[in-house]
Structure 1
Amino acid sequence: MRMIFRCDPALSDHLPRPILARGALPDWLRAMPTKAHSEIHGREIRTVKQCPPFIDAMAYGVMILLPCDVAVDRGSFSWDWDIPEPSTAGHPRAPLSFHVPAQFPDAPFAREGQAALKFNSFWTIELEPEWSLFATHPINRDDLPFRLISGLVDADRFHDGGINFPAIWTQPDFSGVLPKGTPVAQCFAVPRAAPQLVFESFDDSHKEAYAKTVAEVLATPGVYRKRFRARRGRSTAE
């Protein structure tokens, strides 16, 4: 799978490139201990830092990064980003724009009277035929002061314009700086073909395998990681 990112040539030296999500794991995860005391269990237990599905979800796909510092003061956003005039007609210069509340009436994520942010795209994204781009909030990143609204784009066909990323600002009292390089969207290439759903009851061999697997997982730490977790290759960037 190749994901091709293109940008305006005038901006190529001013934009952070999208990165593999494994390179954007947060500091709080790196600092988390691998074990912690549980009052309920009365002993040390493993934390999510030792849970491969938790980590692999956060490390999967590609992260789109905020292109510059954005100052935030209780819902007011500003930036000082000195970049050249793009050489492409209709190309944005601002890192943010907005969706008015009327665009998402009565949606469960709406905040009364509050516009949605739109993280403007400075990269086009092209995928291989029959693949779409799924964009969502950086996984398990409730520490970020916004919540991205997920979307699916047929980026094998739509790849000559930028894909923007709408979000709801969730911390109205936040004052500070959203720094350049903040992950704003986690993107995966997904096949467009719908899966064939097959339903079966366990036969004797499946019942035996189920009981054996569950017993091993409960008895021995790291069974999934050592026996079932797939090795993840390193990607290359051109």
Structure 2
Amino acid sequence: MRMIFRCDPRLAEHLPRPFPARTALPDWLRAMPAKAHSEIHDRDIRTVKQCPPFVDAMAYGVMIPLPCDIRVEHGAFAWDWDIPEPATQGHPRAPLSFHPVAQFAGAPFANGQAALKFNSFWTIELEPGWSLFATHPVNRDDLPFRLISGLVDADRFHDGGINFPAVWTQPDFAGVLPKGTPVAQCFAVPREAPELVFEAFDDAHREAYAKVVGEVLAAPNVYRKHFRAKRGRLVT
């Protein structure tokens, strides 16, 4: 699988590149202890830092970074970004634009407010039969916005930028959203629908279920040691 990112030639030296999500795990996860005391259990228990599915979801795919610092003051957004005039007609220069409230009429996440739009400065091309799923960076509720998920057939639509709408979730935020902040986490997903098959356990599956559950309850790290697949590194 190849993901091809292209940008305007005049901006190539000014844009941070999309990067593997595994390289952008947040500081709060790195600082989290491996174990913490549980009052309910009256002992130390493992935290989600030791949960491979939790961490692997955060580390999967590619992050789209914010191209410059954004200053935020009680709902007002400003930036100073000195870049050349793009060589491509119709290409954006501003890192942000907006969707009016009417575009999300009745949507529970909108809360009656306009949505941000993180403008795209990279086009993304995937191989035939694959689509691009873009969503909020996984488990990143620390970010002061919430991306609105979308699915784009990027094997066909790859000559224009994919913009990323988001709802600002911290109205009292005052500060800087720094350049390089992950604004979208993207995965290549096959477009062909799976065949859904439903079965009741037979004897072999019941025995296997009991065996696996027993092992998981008896010792830590069973999934990590015996079931977790080795993940290849993204090649750039």
TM-score, normalised with respect to structure 2? 0.99
4+ residue runs over 2 A deviation: none
> What is the SS of the residue equivalent to 1:226?
helix
Match of 1:68 in 2: 68
Match of 1:44 in 2: 44
**1:107 and 2:70 are equivalent in the alignment:** no
Equivalent residues, number: 236
Q: Distance in 1 between matches of 2:121 and 2:5?
A: 10
Structure 1 residue 235, shift from structure 2 partner: 1.8
Aligned pairs for 1:76-155 within 5 A = 76-112=76-112, 114-155=113-154
**1:199 alignment partner AA:** F
Q: Distance in 2 between matches of 1:76 and 1:37?
A: 42
Q: Distance in 2 between matches of 1:80 and 1:233?
A: 38
Deviations along 1:162-193, one digit per CA (max 9) or x if unpaired, are 00000000000000000000000000000000
> What is the SS of the residue equivalent to 1:10?
coil
Q: Distance in 2 between matches of 1:103 and 1:236?
A: 38
Structure 1 residue 236, shift from structure 2 partner: 1.0
**1:12 alignment partner AA:** A
Match of 1:17 in 2: 17
Q: Distance in 2 between matches of 1:233 and 1:150?
A: 25
Match of 1:166 in 2: 165
Unaligned runs of 5+ in 2: none
Deviations along 1:3-46, one digit per CA (max 9) or x if unpaired, are 00000010001000000100110000000000000000000000
> What is the SS of the residue equivalent to 1:161?
coil
Q: Distance in 1 between matches of 2:45 and 2:132?
A: 37
Deviations along 1:187-207, one digit per CA (max 9) or x if unpaired, are 000000000000000000000
Q: Distance in 1 between matches of 2:148 and 2:122?
A: 19
Structure 1 residue 231, shift from structure 2 partner: 0.1
Match of 2:194 in 1: 195
Match of 1:3 in 2: 3
Q: Distance in 1 between matches of 2:234 and 2:10?
A: 27
Match of 1:207 in 2: 206
**2:159 alignment partner AA:** D
User: Root-mean-square deviation (CA), in Å?
Assistant: 0.4
Q: Distance in 1 between matches of 2:88 and 2:155?
A: 21
Structure 1 residue 111, shift from structure 2 partner: 1.8
Structure 1 residue 127, shift from structure 2 partner: 0.0
Q: Distance in 2 between matches of 1:7 and 1:111?
A: 34
Q: Distance in 2 between matches of 1:105 and 1:234?
A: 41
Structure 1 residue 145, shift from structure 2 partner: 0.3
> What is the SS of the residue equivalent to 2:10?
helix
Q: Distance in 1 between matches of 2:234 and 2:153?
A: 22
TM-score, normalised with respect to structure 1? 0.99
Q: Distance in 1 between matches of 2:110 and 2:233?
A: 39
Q: Distance in 1 between matches of 2:100 and 2:192?
A: 34
> What is the SS of the residue equivalent to 1:72?
strand
Identity %: 82
Unaligned runs of 5+ in 1: none
